[in-house]
Chain A
Amino acid sequence: MTARGCNRTVLVVEDDRDVREAIAEVLADSRYVALHAANGAEALQRLRAAPVRPCVILLDVMMPTMDGWQFRAEQQRDPSVKDIPVVVLSAHSDASEAAAKMEAAGYLTKPVALETLLGVVERFCAPDKE
């Protein structure tokens, strides 16, 4: 299920700046390229403007302006980005439920352990030394 040509790029859609930066940092430590978006609208913009398609989108659910649900709906309407896998990232225990409804590829529950995060992202990105 690895998206080819994604060049280890991950889009992090998260309204909390600290969380967004922490994820970006640890992903960077593992030689991933993290794109940031503070809400669904920004994420759509990023997706459409990005020179490289991300391998996976880590999507928070509760966000201002445009939440995860709306983003996911927009994404699925846009053929150019609709097949990029989404992993739901939520502080709520209903993360698995939300992921199923959004037809997401997986979910992570906050606080997420580093190993868990890297393990999931790795599933969608081409190995580093390929």
Chain B
Amino acid sequence: MIDSTALLAPFGDAQLAIGGIRHYAIFLLDPHGTVVSWNEGAQAIKGYSASEIVGQSSARFYTREDVLAGRHAQLLARAAQEGRVEDEGWRVRKDGSRFWADVVITAIRGADGALRGFVKITRDLTERKRGEEALRQGEERMRLMIDSVQEYAIFMLDPTGRVASWNSGAERLKGYTAPEIVGQSFSRFYPEPEVRAGKPERELEIAEREGRFQEEGWRVRKDGSRFWASVVLSAVRDELGTLVGFTKVTRDMSDRKLAEEAMLERTRQQGAVAQLGVFAVEQPAVDAVIHRAIDTVRDTLGTERVQVLELSDDGNSLTLRGGCGVDPAGVGRLAVAVDRGSQLLSPEPDPQGFPLAGLLDEQAFPSGITVVIRASARPLGVYGMLCAHTAVRRAFNGDDVNFLRSVANVIAAAIERRRMEEQVRVAERRMQEERVRTAQVQEALRERDEFISVAAHELRTPLTALQLKLQGLERGLRAAAPEKSAGSKVGGRLEGALRQTKRLSHLIERLLDVSRIAAGRLELAPERFDLAELVRQVAEDFREPAAETGTELRLHGAQRMEGCWDRLRMEQVLVNLLSNAVKYGAGRPVSVRLESAGERIRISVVDEGIGIAPEDLGRIFTRFERAAPVRNYAGLGLGLYISRYIVDAHGGRIEVSSRPGQGSTFVIDLPLVAALVTLPGQGPRQARA
């Protein structure tokens, strides 16, 4: 047991001061570690009063683990040996709670050098320890977080730009492991030309000056491949403002960049097609459109060889219609390739978007797209094809194929438009020719009608003189010998001559009717009369000529048929029909039937004669037509034409049915009261069939 008074003697007056210190526990131990003095600070920090602890072993201030480990004895031994020992560690208060203590133990030796005891000064560092621990844990968490980030390369550079730290995102993005890259200059992440241009250094300068530098640009991986990076470079300074380095956060934006570039490329392609389309609309020449299309494809796709090949009608050969980068010998080989029967006309293109890839010349042009130029008017529905080939191997995407198809569509549209314009031109030319021909025909018909009119009038003049002279002669003959004239030789001849003048007169009248019809000047003068009576009169007039051919005339049907028609013109029609029936009736009976039904009447004239051939039926009502052979029967064949016109002008119809060898039936259908119809002049065109 050491006397504490003796132990404390060297401290003298200092003891008082030590006793009052509150922030440090300052107390003495004997050489065995027993507490021999105690101060206020010791009481405040450890919770024991002097009376409680003096005489106790200082081991009780240690944690159970430290005691078991012999730490208490170790520290005393080291202090004894080395004179002084400092330790930081957990200590235990009277109440059992722990505190983080900074402990200094100093050995006290007597003048003889013998160990007299220890001074132990303990400071409570719990608060500081807590702050340090929090900081340490925060830093650790940050490090773990940064380490675990995969999407971003997050690393530090020292002030000169050398890599100071590296995370897993950086390793994944750039391909380097931490040992490979830490200490290396960050400039190796840049493409060579940018390094040469001093870009990395410039970026550091900007970040240092402005605190931050941000950009998007190409960066290089360890394997040399490029990626599009979004980069943020920030300067890091200590509390004094000294630059300690940079943080760099890099993100791979390649996907977005590629999407943007694809969008831009698509926009560029669409713009090029639109321009080509506008050109094609303004430029009617197909060749000009083809050449512009070839330039458009070359400039837009960057393909060295562009061709427009026209397919022959039989689908067996191709002709070069235009191209760039074309080796003429190559075209020959293409033609041969098609000849051998490639899948040229397969209706569906290859799903890969590379139809007709067989047209590639593997050695000179290893990559390319070929699309079909469609043309509806072509035998195979194909005009030909549009090929875009590159001299270097290259991948094309769906946009490129669509672009080329669009260009092919513009060419197809230009061809189609040209074809339609050509058709329109041909049609217009034909129409013009037709107009000229029609005009010529009309002029010829007009001249003929005029000639008929003039001729008919001219004929009337000599006929007038002839008729008057003959009638004068006949009258003189009758006056001289009334009883003989009828039977005399001269009288008979005179009568024959007069009959011929009458016939001439009729023919002239018909010609004049034709010219009136042609000029639209045949006018009707309807009056009320009994058509049945008129039929009987006309039939009566035909008794004699009918008897000459042995023809029997029979009348059937209505006895009375009052109505309103042009009497002279209707008589003309009846005379014409009866005269035909008698003339072509082959001596067999001719019957006329009258029927009336409501507001309409019907007159049928039926013969059993030679009839009319079917091919003639349609045209017997037209001008100057006569179904019967000319040498057998006289007459100009105008009668039916005029009759039809007259009936039509009454608002009626005339129809014929006939069988060769069995006779003909002409039927006139008329309204009871002529519904006067204004018919156009029929000069320039054929009368209706």
Which residues on A are within 8 Å of B, measured CB to CB?
Answer: 16, 18-19, 21-23, 25-26, 29, 91-93, 110-115, 117
Contact = CB atoms under 8 A, between A and B. Distances in A.
The interface centre, meaning the residue of A22, A23, A111 with most chain B CB atoms within 10 A of its CB, is A111
Contact of B465 (A18, A29, A93, A115): A18
B478 to A, nearest CB: 12
A19 B469 contact: no
B557 interface: no
A48 B467 CA distance: 32
30 contacts: A16-B461, A16-B462, A16-B465, A18-B462, A18-B465, A19-B465, A19-B468, A21-B465, A22-B464, A22-B465, A22-B466, A22-B469, A22-B472, A25-B468, A25-B469, A25-B472, A26-B468, A29-B472, A29-B475, A91-B457, A92-B457, A110-B464, A111-B463, A111-B464, A111-B466, A111-B501, A112-B468, A113-B471, A114-B467, A115-B471
B501 to A, nearest CB: 7
B512 interface: yes
A78 to B, nearest CB: 29
B505 interface: yes
Nearest to B501: A111
A112 B475 contact: no
Contacts of A18: 461-462, 465
Given A22-B468, A25-B469, A114-B475, A91 B462 contact: no
Contacts of B461: 16, 18-19, 91, 110
Contacts of A115: 471
A22 to B, nearest CB: 4
A19 B469 CA distance: 9
A32 to B, nearest CB: 12
Contacts of A19: 461-462, 464-465, 468
Contacts of A114: 467-468, 471-472, 475
A113 B502 CA distance: 10
A23 B468 contact: yes
Contacts of A91: 457-458, 460-461, 464
Contacts of B379: none
B476 interface: yes
Which are the 3 A-B pairs with shortest beta-carbon distances?
A114-B471, A18-B465, A91-B460
A110 B471 contact: no
Interface of B: 457-458, 460-469, 471-472, 475-476, 501, 505, 512, 516
A111 B501 CA distance: 10
Contacts of B505: 111
Contacts of A21: 465
Contacts of B469: 22, 25-26
B476 A112 contact: no
A103 B412 CA distance: 79
Given A29-B476, A110-B463, 19 more contacts: A18-B461, A18-B465, A19-B462, A22-B465, A22-B468, A25-B469, A26-B469, A26-B471, A26-B472, A29-B472, A91-B461, A93-B512, A110-B461, A111-B460, A111-B463, A112-B464, A113-B471, A114-B471, A114-B472
A125 to B, nearest CB: 18
Contacts of A16: 461-462, 465
Nearest to A19: B465
A110 B476 contact: no
A70 B471 CA distance: 32
A117 B288 CA distance: 85
A19 B458 CA distance: 12
B467 A111 contact: yes
A71 to B, nearest CB: 19
A21 to B, nearest CB: 7
A109 B638 CA distance: 22
A118 to B, nearest CB: 9
Contacts of B464: 19, 22, 91, 110-112
Contacts of A110: 460-461, 463-464
Contacts of A25: 468-469, 472
A91 B467 CA distance: 14
B449 to A, nearest CB: 15
A115 B498 CA distance: 14
Contacts of A112: 464, 467-468
Given A110-B460, A111-B460, A117 B512 contact: no
Contacts of B460: 91, 110-111
Nearest to B474: A114
A21 B469 CA distance: 9
A115 B474 CA distance: 12
Contacts of A26: 468-469, 471-472, 475
A85 to B, nearest CB: 21
A18 B468 CA distance: 10
A114 to B, nearest CB: 4
A19 B459 CA distance: 12
Given A91-B457, A91-B460, A111-B460, A117 B465 contact: no
Nearest to A20: B465
A29 to B, nearest CB: 6
A92 B465 CA distance: 16
A113 B472 CA distance: 10
Contacts of B501: 111
Nearest to A114: B471
A56 B427 CA distance: 66
Nearest to A24: B468
B624 to A, nearest CB: 21
A114 B512 CA distance: 22
A92 B462 CA distance: 14
B376 to A, nearest CB: 61
A93 B515 CA distance: 12
A91 B464 CA distance: 9
Contacts of A93: 512, 516
A93 B516 CA distance: 10
A95 to B, nearest CB: 11
A47 to B, nearest CB: 23
Contacts of A92: 457
A29 B468 CA distance: 11
Contacts of A22: 464-466, 468-469, 472
A110 B509 CA distance: 11
B461 to A, nearest CB: 5
B468 A117 contact: yes
The interface centre, meaning the residue of B462, B464, B472, B516 with most chain A CB atoms within 10 A of its CB, is B464
B460 to A, nearest CB: 4
Contacts of A113: 467, 471
Nearest to B513: A93
Nearest to A62: B457
A22 B461 CA distance: 11
A115 B464 CA distance: 13
B464 to A, nearest CB: 4
The interface centre, meaning the residue of B466, B468, B472, B476 with most chain A CB atoms within 10 A of its CB, is B468
Contacts of B475: 26, 29, 114
B572 to A, nearest CB: 14
A73 B505 CA distance: 32
A22 B475 CA distance: 14
Contacts of A117: 468
Contacts of B466: 22, 111
A123 B471 CA distance: 20
A16 B469 CA distance: 14
A22 B466 CA distance: 8
